[in-house]
Amino acid sequence: MKSICKFKPGDRIVVWITNRDDVYEGDAGTVIKITPSIFKNNKHIRHPSRVTVILDTGIKIESCTEDKLIHEKEYDPNIPF
């Protein structure tokens, strides 16, 4: 069984949720790597997929869960999350 990530390398994203002091909601970047969910005996061991991103600020975010990011085209800074 394989889980499909909503992103693929090259996608433009925006940070939705972060716990880092140097990254802010609304920071944009590009997906460079996807690490898929892990299954064992048809059960999730780790879910959701992990995403590695290079932000436009030059910061690299590694192993960020895909649910903390959204596609750049879906982001509207005037609508709070």
Q: In this predicted structure, what is the pLDDT of residue 44?
A: 58
Show the CA angle centred on residue 8, arms to residues 37 and 77, nearest 5°: 105
pLDDT digits (tens, 9 = 90+) for 16-74: 888 899 999 999 999 999 988 776 676 656 567 889 999 999 999 998 888 899 999 99
Q: What is the 3-state secondary structure (H, E, C) of the chain?
A: CCCCCCCCCCCEEEECCCCCCCCCCCCEEEEEEEECCEEECCEEEECCCEEEEEECCCCEEEEEEHHHEEEHHHCCCCCCC
pTM of the model: 0.80
Q: In this predicted structure, what is the pLDDT of residue 15?
A: 94
Q: In this predicted structure, what is the pLDDT of residue 45?
A: 61
Q: Does residue 4 have a pLDDT over 60?
A: yes
- Neighbouring CB atoms inside 10 A of 12's CB total 15
